[in-house]
Amino acid sequence: MDDVQLLVLTRAPDLARLPEFISILCLVLLAAGVVGGFIRLRERSTLFALSTALVPLIVFNQQIITGRSLQPIHYQVFIGNYVAGLALLMAVGLLLRKRLMANDVAVKSTSAVLMLAAIVWGFVECHYTVRVLDDANIARDEALPVARRLEEMSFADPNRFQQTVLSFDGIFADDMPSVAPQNVLWARHQHVFAGLTWQQNKERYYKYLYYSNIDENGLDRLLKKDFVSQIALFGWGRHSDRLSVDAKPLTYGEIAEEVRNYARFRNAFNAATASDPQLSFVVVNEEYESDLTAVEQWYELYDAQTIGKYTLFRARIRE
């Protein structure tokens, strides 16, 4: 689990993040204000601004004491940036406090403009930045009846936890386990669960590629441009240097080796491979062209059910 979650054992300082630069600026402003007599160090407002300015520096360097760093990018984009921004506003506000109280028109006009800018940006963050997920969320809603149907079909089946679903829709495969009890052959976030070893997860992705009629040349193209394939075969820490302080970029040599491994797997695919795990259901999104030739070589698909834009098949292994 530590390996999958990208836990890094290190005591190296991390001082190159934007929230830290803002924090350092805040500390300089507060120090200048104290030295210049504009603010008093022992005031509660000064101490609060000072402590807030220190938060990002402490958060991104706590590993110096704990020896552990866990995906610091999440602190950088989800909390450290806001804390640093708050510290900056408080530091500037303390320095301009007297001019604000003296009804300085220029300072108050600037403050009003900043306030409006903050409101507009808050609207942008709450409205527009989530729009990139709209299509995916609509797809989740449309696929929910399929998961519920699988759940209904499992009630009378004592082996429901041993059944496996092959989904050619990645969003459905990722979300299905939150509703239905069956397994999925492969899903994008499957490797973060400790029930599968890393090698088992890779082999399941190989089978997903095989059933999708993707050959080694297709995998080579995917690994050079598709981050989902990179994550599936190399982990989160290899497709991006933002998640781990110990990130190592993916090399063309590693891609070529993985393509060769898949070619050997594909050429050796047989009935034993197809039955471990044995598929019980296949889900197809009819909006996309899904070639079921590879699946039907090893499985008989029957009892097709149309649910919205999806088709749910039962599957049984061919003798």
Q: Are strands 164-167 and 279-285 parallel, antiparallel or unpaired?
A: parallel
Nearest to 226 by CA among 283, 170, 176, 285: 170
The domain locations on the chain are 7-95, 134-317
Residue 191: per-residue pLDDT:
79
The pTM (predicted TM-score) of the whole model is 0.80
Angle among Cα 55, 60, 62 to the nearest 5 degrees reads 90
Residue 15: per-residue pLDDT:
92
Task: Give me 157's structure tokens.
Answer: 């089946």
HSE, side-chain direction, 13 A CA sphere, residue 177: 16
Who wins on pLDDT, 210 or 188?
210
Task: Give me 34's structure tokens.
Answer: 């104290």
What are the Cα distances from residue 41, in Å, to 31, 34, 56, 89, 223?
9, 6, 20, 17, 55
Give the span between the Cα atoms of 7 and 67, in whole angstroms: 10
Residue range 274-319, pLDDT digits in tens = 999 999 999 999 988 889 999 999 999 999 999 999 999 999 999 8
Residue range 123-175, pLDDT digits in tens = 988 888 888 888 999 999 999 999 999 999 999 889 889 999 999 999 999 99
Q: Return the DSSP state at 230.
A: H
Would the pLDDT of 240 be above 80?
Answer: no
Q: Name the band, by pLDDT with cuts 50, 70 and 90, for residue 272.
A: very high
Q: Return the DSSP state at 125.
A: H
Give the span between the Cα atoms of 206 and 20, in whole angstroms: 42
Nearest to 240 by CA among 1, 6, 67: 6
Q: Name the band, by pLDDT with cuts 50, 70 and 90, for residue 231.
A: confident
Would the pLDDT of 4 be above 80?
Answer: no
Residue 103: per-residue pLDDT:
82
When the pLDDT of each residue in the chain is averaged and rounded to a whole number, the result is: 92
* Three-class secondary structure assignment of 161-227: HHCEEEECCHHHHHHHHHCCCCEECCCCCHHHCCCCCHHHHHHHHHHHHHHCCCCHHHHHHHHHHCH
Would the pLDDT of 194 be above 70?
Answer: no
